[in-house]
Structure 1
Amino acid sequence: MKSLALGVALLTMLAACASSPTVHTDSDPSAQFSQYRTYSWLAKPEGVSPLAQERIIAAVDAQLQAKGWTQAPNGDVGVAAHVATEQRHDIDTFYSGPGWGGWGWYGMGGMGSASTTVRTYKVGTLVVDMFDTKTKKAIWRGTASDTIPSSPEKANAIAQAGITKMFEAFPPGSAPAK
């Protein structure tokens, strides 16, 4: 029973450490978000599969509609979304020796070996920009970044989590959702 409780605790800690998208938002402090009620899409996200594009659009639409906004042909706000990806690398080098010796004065030295591993992975960033259609000024930006998993289901879950987190305190000045 004790090992079961320990296993559950370990799984809970690992789940808490699981990757969560890094999200940032910025807004024009002079923008009067209380005046905006409608929006239209200026640019839909490119660089992703058509299915992922549809899911991103649906998730942004759902977030805006939950805030009381309505999609309209000539909305008060224009929404543009973009996806960018980049490859990154982690390099790990492991050293092994004969098990004796060490560094400094007391080290006896000795031949050891080194093994280097390079891990290549992709990071994706979703950027959502909003513009006042009358003034053509940028009024809000949200970004969500994370490692792109190979599984489409996991990638969709990360994108959804990023969009949800992005719109938690939207419009600016409102309290975050609890």
Structure 2
Amino acid sequence: MKRAIYLVSIILPVFLVLASCNSIKNLKTAVEYDKQANFASYNSYKFDKELSYSDTHDNYSSENQRTFENAIHDQLRRKGLEETETPNLYVNFFVVDTQESKSITHTSYRSQRYGGMSHVDTYIKNYELGTLVIDLIDVSSKKLVWRGLANGVITGKQKDMQRTINEAVRAILSKYPPRK
């Protein structure tokens, strides 16, 4: 029994660490949309190069940019939309990365024969918070009709960024079209 508990106490944390590597922790999504828009009428899209690449967010590589586009293409196709030269919707996306820090304090108490001792550890945890925003713009009115965003703590290495990007795009576009 002790051996089984020991194995679970070793294997489970290792599995959880591996499963969470190169992913987005605490992924949160939100959606805003035009309540008057007829989402059933939208059946085509196109990335508008003027819109898709924000000049204030140059920190993702062209490889990551293609990964974002491919993930968005894949999810929109799954929703029944087709990429065309004469679309109903323009697609815009951008990424905002911020460096955050958090102070963490841990207090422990160790009892001893004649009383005890308290010990306080404080350390600063630095992390990267990423936000992906996907906009859908009505071509005829040139108005934003749907905006989805995902934000969370980014972990992992560049080589696994494709999985992270796909996860965020899938989470956002799972909320399109909006359910009124």
Q: Work out whether the TM-score is over 0.5.
A: yes
| Aligned counterparts of 1:94 and 1:62: Cα–Cα separation in 2 | 45
Please name the residue that 1:37 is paired with: 43
Q: How far does the alpha carbon of each residue in 1:30-83 deviate from its partner, in whole angstroms, 9 at most, with x for none?
A: 111111111111233443111111000000011111111111223111111010
Q: Secondary structure at the match of 1:56?
A: helix
Please name the residue that 1:6 is paired with: 8
| Aligned counterparts of 1:96 and 1:68: Cα–Cα separation in 2 | 56
What are structure 2's unaligned runs of at least 5 residues?
A: none
Judging changes above 3 Å, is the alpha-carbon distance between structure 1 residues 145 and 98 closer, same or farther for their aligned structure 2 residues?
closer
Matched, 1:163 2:151: no
Q: Secondary structure at the match of 2:170?
A: helix
What are structure 1's unaligned runs of at least 5 residues?
A: 101-107
State, as a whole percentage, how many aligned pairs show the same letter. Answer: 23
Matched, 1:54 2:34: no
| Aligned counterparts of 1:69 and 1:78: Cα–Cα separation in 2 | 12
Choose 1 or 2 for highest CA Rg.
1
| Aligned counterparts of 2:110 and 2:82: Cα–Cα separation in 1 | 69
Deviation at 1:171, TM superposition (A): 1.4
Please name the residue that 2:97 is paired with: 85
Deviation at 1:94, TM superposition (A): 3.9
Alignment TM-score, normalising by the size of structure 1? 0.76
- The structure richer in strand per residue is 2
Please name the residue that 1:173 is paired with: 179
Please name the residue that 1:134 is paired with: 140
Judging changes above 3 Å, is the alpha-carbon distance between structure 1 residues 98 and 23 closer, same or farther for their aligned structure 2 residues?
closer
**Larger relative contact order (CA 8 Å, sep ≥ 6):** 2
Q: Secondary structure at the match of 1:91?
A: strand
Alignment TM-score, normalising by the size of structure 2? 0.75
Q: How far does the alpha carbon of each residue in 1:98-155 deviate from its partner, in whole angstroms, 9 at most, with x for none?
A: 857xxxxxxx9x9x76443111111110000111111111110110111122412443
Deviation at 1:12, TM superposition (A): 9.7
Q: In the alignment, is the contact (CA less than 8 A) between 2:26 and 2:153 conserved in 1?
A: no
- The structure richer in helix per residue is 2
| Aligned counterparts of 2:75 and 2:134: Cα–Cα separation in 1 | 12
Judging changes above 3 Å, is the alpha-carbon distance between structure 1 residues 11 and 58 closer, same or farther for their aligned structure 2 residues?
same
Q: CA RMSD in A?
A: 3.2
Bigger drift between 74-83 and 145-154 goes to 145-154
| Aligned counterparts of 1:155 and 1:72: Cα–Cα separation in 2 | 28
AA at the equivalent of 1:161: E
